[in-house]
Amino acid sequence: MVRWQIAALRLAACAVMAAGALTLTQTGDAASAQPRDCDAHRRGGWDSCGAPPDRTVPMMQAMQGKPVTLASAPIDVMASELKFDPAQKKKISAIQDKLEKECRTPPKGPRDTDPSAMFTRTNDLISQADKDIDAELTAEQKPPAEELLKKLSLMRTTGLPPELYLELKLSPEQLKSLEEAIPEIKSQNKERNKEMMSAAKSGNMKKVQSLMSDPVPAVAAILTKDQKSLVDKYHKKHPNMMPQMMDFGGFGGFGQP
């Protein structure tokens, strides 16, 4: 990881943390922001100021431009698409919960201020969880699991929450259009990232939230009106989960020299 990537990562993380530190409450057409307690983050932990309690892993992967894996795929989506039985779902859910807890717990000893060290540790934990979950899948479930992860990764790359996979019901034609539009989407995301960083520097967190939640034009043009409404409602309900804006280079992201 070269210096400019580390600098960009620090700025990106700060922007997300700052946005996450605001709880937006809607009152009619007016929005008010109330600060949340970020003491845990200042002590070195990756706490709820940066991500909801169960979504640290997806956010960390998205910030690096990494695809969705078994460890970060929404459990309800996997359970539905891969036909988990209750016992299987419970075991896999427990693995994901354990991973989230480990990722949010600061390592013992002096704090390492290099962001690459944080990602290395997290990626190692994710890799192990992926192996543990894969071991719980049957031979029949593994091929469809690979296809599902590709679709969820495409959603993440194009800025759509993988958690909405079941609700959006993207057609094969829409998935193909999203894949073909990736270069344009990345270009539009880069321009929006610049706006987001500028707004974050000036302390305009309301604008940061808006920029992070709205699909870029290339994506919006592919979605139906109802689908766009579902995405909008999701972001209003989960104002901290807009990791698509952290895509600085697609799959591989910050990991590329």
In a 3-state reduction of DSSP, which class is residue 34? strand
* The pLDDT of residue 220: 95
pLDDT in tens, 157-186: 998 999 999 999 999 999 999 999 999 998
pLDDT (average), residues 207-212: 80
Give the integer Cα–Cα distance in Å for 150 and 144.
10
What is the C-alpha separation between 231 and 216, in angstroms, rounded? 12
Q: What percent of the chain has pLDDT over 90?
A: 43
Q: Which residues touch 116 (CB under 8 Å, ≥6 apart)?
A: 1, 6, 9
Which pLDDT tens digit goes with each residue over 211-223?
877 889 999 999 9
Q: CA 132 to CA 142: how far, in whole Å? A: 13
For 12-25, what is each residue's pLDDT tens digit?
444 444 344 333 33
Among 54, 42, 52, 43, CA closest to 20: 52
Cα–Cα separations (whole angstroms), residue 18 to 72, 124, 204, 254: 23, 26, 10, 20
Report pLDDT for 226.
97
Q: For the chain, how many residues are written? A: 257
Which of 7-16, 126-135, 224-233 is predicted with the least confidence, judged by mean pLDDT? Answer: 7-16
Q: Which of 6, 4, 11 is nearest to 198 (CA)?
A: 11
User: Among positive and negative, which fits the CA dihedral 74, 97, 50, 107?
Assistant: negative
Question: What's the Cα-to-Cα distance from 53 to each of 25, 56, 104, 124, rounded to whole Å?
Answer: 19, 7, 9, 20
Among 52-66, 92-106, 233-247, the range scoring the smallest mean pLDDT is: 233-247
Average confidence score pLDDT of the chain: 76
Task: List the chain domain ranges.
Answer: 3-244
- Taking alpha carbons only, the member of 195, 208, 156, 212 closest to residue 18 is 208
Percent of the chain with pLDDT over 70: 68
Residue with tokens 């990537």: 5
Residue 159 vs residues 94, 165, 179: alpha-carbon distances, Å: 27, 12, 12
> Quick one: average pLDDT of 48-64?
64
Residue 15 pLDDT? 43
